[in-house]
Chains A and B, each alone.
Chain A
Amino acid sequence: MIFPKATISEIIGLLEVVNDSGGIEDAARLAADFDLELDEILPSIDGAELLGFVSVTDGNIELTEDARNLLETGIRDRKKIIRDKVAGVGIIKELTSMLMESDERKISKKETLKFLQDKIATADIESYFRIIINWTRHAGLIGYNSDSEEICLISK
């Protein structure tokens, strides 16, 4: 599988601009509007789709009900919606259960990278690690301590 290399901020930004276009927009026009290459905007579109915020057909990006709800709420409530969505992403679910079963609910970065490498075939696993941690920190699910180089569950 490929994991979309887009931060949560980029994904919400995408939803906001599609919303400005009435909730549906052509990917190519969106890229042109922001003077971006299609390659630069695709990860955000894929990320939004993976989180269930958009449906994509024939290059058209359309906001889902969940995305509309997200955009209507404030920063605090957005965080809750993101949490539920991110918690449902396959690879993050697996990481969460690995953490639940581990000693002290911590796993070394090395072991995490190995797990991700098996899932995402890439030479650049570090950048996927950073993106996944960006998502899970945003969601308040999984944190990373760069001093001890361990990931851990964030207590509610």
Chain B
Amino acid sequence: MLAEIKNISKTFESDGNKIQVLDNINFTVEDNDFICIVGPSGCGKSTLLRIIVGLEKPTSGEVLFKGEVIAPDNPKVAMVFQNFALFPWLTVKENIELVLESKKYGEEAEKVACKYIRAVGLDGFERVYPRELSGGMKQRVGFARELAVEPVLLCMDEPFSSLDALTSQNLKDELLMLWAEVSMPPDAVIMVTHNVEEAVYMANRIIILSPRPGKIVADLKIELERPRNRKDPEFYRWVDKVYSLIV
């Protein structure tokens, strides 16, 4: 077992009002899991992800990573953001090296950065600033930067939702190619998405949350062979099934 999400509840307080967003979430993450968390907007799925990586504290419950309570600076857990979160004044390569410096790679940093720049097909863009990049290339930098720390668990919050439909299709496929390479990190992925089709395309496990406060409605194993085809009737049966559990 890689991670254990135990009895997680979260309540936010604003102006004396208490809003419960998550209600007693329990699941475990195993090696080779590609989990998509889906649910209606406002169901707390992004909050849950932030709790899992240690960026936010739960009101009750705990997240254990390899048996220990998760810390926000855990180098084995990485997070890809919807809006890329790149430093505009740093080049592609510097953005990647920066996370490596903070993790004490020393002189290895450049070598490791180059390895992951190549892996995501960003070679040729090393000295480019984010402002010059299309959304697709920016998110490739986001992937390279998080893969470069060689995480065991990679968390992604709506990583494709700010991209146009075709670019997003291209990036999903490339990410799945990297995922299929055994030599590449991570060992498991948790991705939050509001797009059911995307979840069925990517995941081998889908966790469905209810409307707020988010509770687990279903934890489905997606038994579809890869590569998956969105036009396949079997694919659509799964999409339908997930929808029927959300609505």
Contacts and interface: CB of A to CB of B under 8 A. Distances in A.
A7 B231 contact: no
B3 interface: no
Contact of B132 (A12, A35, A76, A144): A144
A50 to B, nearest CB: 16
A138 interface: yes
B231 A10 contact: no
A22 B34 CA distance: 27
A79 B165 contact: no
B72 to A, nearest CB: 31
Contacts, number: 80
A123 interface: no
A154 B134 contact: no
Nearest to B131: A146
Interface stretch (B42-50, B102-110, B171-179, B186-194): B171-179
B164 interface: yes
Contacts of A36: 165
Contacts of A144: 128, 132
Contacts of B31: none
Given A7-B134, A75-B177, A13 B168 contact: yes
Given A20-B229, A75-B178, A13 B120 contact: no
A105 interface: no
B134 A75 contact: no
Contact of B166 (A17, A20, A145): A17
Contacts of A9: 134, 136-137, 166-167, 170-171
A17 to B, nearest CB: 6
Contact of B231 (A6, A21, A41, A146): A21
A12 B170 contact: yes
Contacts of B81: none
Interface of A is mostly: helix
A79 B123 contact: yes
Interface in B59-104: none
B125 A79 contact: no
Contacts of A35: 165
A13 B132 contact: no
A139 B124 CA distance: 8
Given A74-B177, A140-B124, A16 B165 contact: no
A55 to B, nearest CB: 19
Contacts of B131: 146
Contacts of A79: 121, 123
Contacts of B137: 7, 9, 134
Contacts of B120: 75
Nearest to B181: A74
B177 A16 contact: no
Given A16-B170, A134-B134, A137-B124, 20 more contacts: A7-B167, A9-B136, A9-B137, A9-B167, A9-B171, A10-B164, A10-B166, A10-B170, A12-B170, A13-B168, A13-B169, A14-B166, A16-B173, A44-B166, A75-B121, A75-B178, A130-B132, A143-B124, A144-B132, A146-B129
12 contacts: A7-B136, A7-B137, A7-B167, A9-B136, A10-B164, A11-B166, A14-B166, A41-B166, A74-B177, A75-B178, A139-B124, A144-B128
What are the nearest 6 A-B pairs in CB distance? A13-B166, A9-B136, A13-B170, A13-B169, A34-B165, A10-B166
